[in-house]
A = this chain, B = another copy of it.
Amino acid sequence: MKKSMGKGRVVSAVLIKDLRIEARSRVVTNQVLPFAGLIMIMFAFALDNDDVLQRVAGGLIWLATIFSLFVIVQRSFAIDTVDAALDSLRVAGIDLSAVFLGKAIALTLQLMALDVVLIASAFLLYQVQVSAVGLVLLVTCVTCATTGLGFVGTLYGGLTAGTNGRETLLPLLLLPVVAPVLIAATRATEAAFGSGGAATSEGWAWVGLLTIFAAVFGIGGSLAFGPLIDE
C-alpha cells in the first residue's frame, strides 16, 4: 500500500514536471507542431488531387507523428541531462519504473495533442470523411499508437541518454521499432477514413497489433528502464 502510493506520487511528479517545462518552454508547441503542419500543407499543395491526398492522409499523419516523436524524446531527456538532474534522479533512490511511466505518459500526451491537430488538418485540407464507427476506431487507434510510441520512445531515450555520442544512436534504434507502428497505425487510420475502400473492421485487427506493441513496450520498459539508466 505504502509502496504503491509512493510510486503513484513519483509518476505524477515526473509527469507534472515534464508537462510544466513544456508549458514554459513551448518546444513542442512552437517547434514540432508548425513543422508537422507544414508537412500536411506542403502535401496538400504538391499533390493537389483529392484522390491521392485521401490515400496518403493516413500515412502522412503518422509519418509526422513519428518525426515529432524523435524530437520530443530528445527534448524530454535533454531536460534531465543538461544540468545532471538525471544523476540526481538516480541517487534519489526512487523506483525508476515510476520515472519511466511518468515520462512515457508525458510523451504520450504530447503526441496525442499533436495528432489531434494533424487529424484536424487532414479533415480541413484533404477532405477526408469519417463515419461514427470510423471515429471510434480512429480515437482508439490514436490512443494505442501514441501510447506504444510513448513507451518505446522513453525506453530507448533512456538507453541513449547522457553520455556523449550515445544520443546519436537513438534514431538507429528507434527506426526499425517504430516502423511497424507506422504501418499498423496508417492502415487503421485509412480504415477509419475509409480511404481506398478499406473496411472499418479491418482496422480493428491493426489496432490489436498496436495494443500488443504498447503492452510489450510498456511492460518491457517498466522492467528494463531502471537497470538501463542505472548503470
Contact = CB atoms under 8 A, between A and B. Distances in A.
B35 A168 contact: no
Interface in A25-57: 25-27, 29-31, 34-35, 38-39, 42-43, 45-47, 52, 55-56
B59 A171 contact: no
Given A52-B47, A168-B25, A168-B27, A63 B39 contact: yes
B63 A31 contact: no
Interface string A150-194: 000000000000001101111110010001001100100000000
A30 B168 contact: yes
Provide the main secondary structure of the chain A interface.
helix
A175 B41 CA distance: 11
Given A30-B171, A168-B26, A35 B186 contact: no
Given A30-B172, A175-B38, A186 B46 contact: yes
Nearest to A82: B82
Contacts of A56: 43, 46-47
Contacts of A52: 47, 52
